[in-house]
Amino acid sequence: MRELRYIYLLLLVFVPVAVFSQSDRQHIRNGNKAYRNNTFSKAETEYRKSIAKNSDNAIAQYNLGCAMMQQGNDSVAIAQFEKAAKMEKNSLNRAMAYHNMGYVLQKRQNYSDAIKAYQNALRNNPDDADSRYNLVMCQKLLKKQQQQKQQQQKQQQQKQQDKNSKNKDKNKDKNKDKKENNKNRKPDQNKMDRQNAEQLLNAVMQKEKNTQDKLQRVQRQPSRKNLNKNW
């Protein structure tokens, strides 16, 4: 990945001095001094003061993006570079803002958006060799990233299929074992059912026999008559 484009230096910016108030210019100069001394939080404060004086100050917006990026706040940096690009009238300066936006996005492996940023940089500055180099690199990295994602998806799908197949085989074996157990228990169950039926039948027959025997005993007894005596 080719170099990052750094802060604007006011002495090198082709903008009429009358555009900004003296306060704006001074805060930007103070911020640039702090930035060069690697005191990025102080630089951020100065750039924010400049923006508070004039929110349309594209230089302050861009430089604030650089300061935020140096502090690891990439999301804010991207937003600042985008603001600066939209405000900037000079195409070369606008290309620098898009280049830095692409740089941060590329660092975060957001290759799709980085490609768009580098393309915008080249639209504003077709001679920007660094943006062209990074664009080609991002296109290759995006293709590799997509291939890796597809491979991961296939692996996940295969893993899920193996899991489902394993569960299916497990359930199949479980059902088979259950069936075998039922098969093994069936003769014993039939034997018990047959024994119970025989016992019930014998009990009924015995009860019927007892009833018949009782009836026969009653029939064999002599009948008794009442005799009336006349006195």
Single-letter code of the amino acid located at 137:
M
Structure tokens at 140: 């290759």
pLDDT tens, residue by residue, 65-82:
999 999 999 999 999 999
pLDDT digits (tens, 9 = 90+) for 154-169: 888 888 888 888 777 7
What pLDDT does 193 receive? 67
Integer angstrom CA distances of residue 194 from 72, 187, 209: 85, 10, 22
Supply the DSSP symbol for 15: S
**Entry pTM:** 0.64
State the greatest distance between any 2 C-alpha atoms of the chain, in Å, as a whole number: 168
Cβ pair 107, 74 in contact under 8 A: yes
pLDDT tier at 199, thresholds 50, 70, 90: confident
pLDDT of 178 reads 72
Amino acid at 197: A
Average pLDDT of 20-24?
68
**Mean pLDDT, to the nearest integer, of 157-183?**
76
Contacts of residue 130, defined as CB under 8 A and 6 or more positions apart, other chains included, come to 2, 3, 99
The pLDDT assigned to 186 comes to: 53
Closest CA to 34 of 67, 58, 12: 67
pLDDT confidence band for 187 (50 / 70 / 90):
low
Q: Assess whether pLDDT exceeds 90 at residue 118.
A: yes
pLDDT higher at 125 or 190: 125
- Give the pLDDT of residue 170: 75
110: pLDDT strictly greater than 90: yes
The Cα 8–Cα 25 span in angstroms is 12
The whole-angstrom distance between residue 42's C-alpha and the CA centroid of its chain comes to 38
Does the pLDDT of residue 150 top 50, yes or no? yes
Q: What is the pLDDT of residue 172?
A: 75
**Average pLDDT estimate for 218-231:** 46
Average pLDDT over residues 175-190: 64
